[in-house]
Amino acid sequence: MIFYFSGTGNSLWVAKQLGAYFDEKLVSIADELNKEENNFQYHLADSEKVFFVFPVHSWGPAVLVLRFIEKMNLDNYSAQQVYAVCVCGDNCGYTDRIMQKELMQKNVLLTRTYSIQMPNNYILMKGFGIDTEEIKNEKLELAPSLIKEIEEDIQSGKHKNLYVSGKKSFLKSRIVYPAFKNYALGRNSFFATDACTSCGLCARVCPTNTISLVNKKPVWNNTCVQCTACIHRCPVRAIEYGKITRNQGRYHHPDM
């Protein structure tokens, strides 16, 4: 079973590759959470592998993953292998340790954590931005071979280090990540410009139903988790985040 969350399609692409290779079905974390149940039960076959595939947000797991794990129960879980695949733009800090701890609270042992670098989608703060066209293409070209490495690592059991924490992980994951969860989430400065055609795509792709169309224009409430799906996927580039994104590029995975 592959539990996945994705804002701009990178993690969805990774989840699909792993799902095809290991013949495991995909379960969308966002869709599950939107069922508004308090307990999600999943039955595991004896030989089933479990994956969590998600974007790294501020050097920790995208928060919907944590909200999901809190409500999740794995039926017939005993010795099945459980993997976290962190989809990042650069590096992941202690995302591996955070996942290990969260899963341990559900009595689930994380077998291994992998990371995979894909194009960057964070544009909501000064000093950050999407990759140049050249770097984006390099990352997309390299991605299939990185997936292959993960698949071989799992199949062979000869474990290599396929996880990139980067430098200053303590600062990033123990200071910045909690601050991101406490202060950035739930707030946003999104607005739609006059270029908006009222197509409603932003509202449809939002995983937290944060956006509704009022008088045919999108408005954002306070449940945003900053996944950046809306701003990157608007087909006419009509969404901005304060003044920060005016000169920023937009990105979503080409298969999306």
Write out the binding residues for ligand FMN, residues 64-103 only, by CB under 6 A.
Answer: 87-91
Handedness of CA 237, 242, 247, 248 (dihedral sign): negative
> What DSSP state is assigned to residue 184?
I
Task: Give me the residue label for tokens 């280090």.
Answer: 161
Could you tell me which stretch among 63-71, 72-80, 115-123, 204-212 binds ligand FMN (CB under 6 A)?
Answer: 115-123
220 near ligand SF4 (CB under 6 A): yes
Structure tokens that stand for 254 in this block: 């080409």
Give dist(CA 65, CA 163) in Å, integer. 19
Closest CA to 252 of 3, 9, 88: 9
Could you tell me which stretch among 81-89, 125-133, 159-167, 198-206 binds ligand SF4 (CB under 6 A)?
Answer: 198-206
Binding residue for ligand SF4 (CB under 6 A) from 2, 12, 225, 240? 225
130 near ligand SF4 (CB under 6 A): no
160 has which bridge partners?
Answer: none
125 near ligand SF4 (CB under 6 A): no
Q: Which does 88 bind (CB under 5 to 8 A by kind): ligand SF4, ligand FMN, none?
A: ligand FMN
Closest CA to 93 of 176, 156, 17, 170: 170
Structure tokens that stand for 180 in this block: 């991101």
Q: Which does 56 bind (CB under 5 to 8 A by kind): ligand SF4, ligand FMN, none?
A: ligand FMN
238 near ligand SF4 (CB under 6 A): yes
The answer to whether 114 touches 83, Cβ cutoff 8 Å, is yes
93 near ligand SF4 (CB under 6 A): no
123 near ligand SF4 (CB under 6 A): no
Query: Which residue, 150 or 192, has its beta carbon nearer to ligand SF4?
Result: 192
Query: Which residue, 160 or 187, has its beta carbon nearer to ligand SF4?
Result: 187
**Closest distance of CB 196 from ligand FMN, Å:** 22
* Plot region of 38 (φ>0 → left; ψ -120 to 50 → alpha; else → beta): alpha
Structure tokens that stand for 165 in this block: 């924490």
Could you list the residues that contact ligand FMN (CB under 6 A)?
A: 6-11, 55-59, 87-91, 118-122, 226-228, 253
